[in-house]
Amino acid sequence: MRADRLVATLLLMQTRGRVTAGELAEELEISVATARRDLEALSAAGVPVYPQPGRGGGWQLVGGARTDLSGLTSREAQALFLLAGPAAAIAPEVKSALRKLMGALPGTFRADAEAAADAVFVDQAGWGERPKDRPPMVEALRDAVIARRQVRLTYAGRETSERLVDPWGLVDKDDVWYLVAGTDKGRRTFRVDRVVAAEPTDAVADRPSDLELAKVWEEVVEEVERRRSPLSADVVLDRRYLRVLRDRFGRHCELVGELPGDRVRVRVAAPAPIMIAQELAGWGSLVDVEGPESVRAELARLGSELVNQYG
């Protein structure tokens, strides 16, 4: 849209001080003639821009006129560019937004903000892998979340079904996208790569006014992890080994008590007794599994097998 270009032109001039029509055309990916018309339109509208002819000339703002972005500290500006910078490589709209934001920053903030934008690059592809594409429904669902419109989903779960949902937000978890939504049966989570169709409606979505997507997602994760690891075992070990045990069990390792002699009691969880026993068998006498008996029995069985084979 032309209004967007005019704002981008003004902010670019604030950033660089002086630009030529050719530089503006290259930056905004428009023709030189269009860039020249936009510059003339700004001048005709009363914006204090004027051309300087000849070698080294161009267009610039009279007297350094500018529009400041207020209320933003230097550290806040760096944080914004640090977070948004990696996305600019794959999202043209982010690059455009950063350019406008850069132009609106006070001059003393710009150098650090530019450095922050290039400080981190995110490569989401593993070695030997191609970058993963977003599921095709992500953009449509994102637009529905922003517009707060109900969506009619065709979803391929155990059976393909159609349902009307209130989209609350999207979550990218380890390159798998999820839609968190309200339904007539309460909150539900849908894998976006299983969404066959997503048709926005004219109905306004019912989204809790106090909803914080990060907290809601944490609840979803905890529920899923509880279902995935219903069995727990209490383990006693020296505190110095606690970090290693946490590395093995991740979020399924919970400190539940302090014991004399710098010992700790920890609760670990997994889907089945054998899975806990397999993780702990190599620890030998470094750990004392207090229960349940099913895990202790699996440890005894594994120990007997090892003695029979290697004793």
Please check the confidence at residue 272 and state whether its pLDDT lies above 70: yes
List phi, psi (to 5°) of 122.
Answer: -100, 115
pLDDT in tens, 12-39: 777 777 788 888 888 888 888 888 888 8
At 71, is the pLDDT very low, low, confident or very high (cuts 50, 70, 90)? very low
Provide the pLDDT for residue 38.
82
The span from the CA of 91 to the CA of 87, in Å, is: 6
Q: Strand, coil or helix: what is 171?
A: strand
Provide the pLDDT for residue 199.
92
The span from the CA of 274 to the CA of 39, in Å, is: 72
Q: Which residues pair with 264 in a beta bridge?
A: 237, 258
Provide the pLDDT for residue 48.
72
Provide the pLDDT for residue 164.
93
pTM value?
0.56
Instruction: Report the percentage of the chain scoring pLDDT > 70.
Output: 74
Q: Strand, coil or helix: what is 271?
A: coil
Buried (b) or exposed (e) across 199-218, using 16+ Cβ within 10 A?
Answer: ebeeeebeeeeeeeeeebbe
The span from the CA of 204 to the CA of 149, in Å, is: 5
Q: Please, are residues 133 and 124 in contact by the beta-carbon 8 Å criterion?
A: no
pLDDT in tens, 133-144: 777 888 889 888
Residue 151's alpha-carbon distances to 13, 128, 131, 135, 154, in angstroms, are 42, 37, 29, 17, 10
Provide the pLDDT for residue 69.
46
* Token pair for 240: 């110095």
Provide the pLDDT for residue 158.
81
Q: How far is residue 257 CA from its own chain's centroid? A: 34
Provide the pLDDT for residue 16.
72
At 103, is the pLDDT very low, low, confident or very high (cuts 50, 70, 90)? low
The span from the CA of 198 to the CA of 141, in Å, is: 7
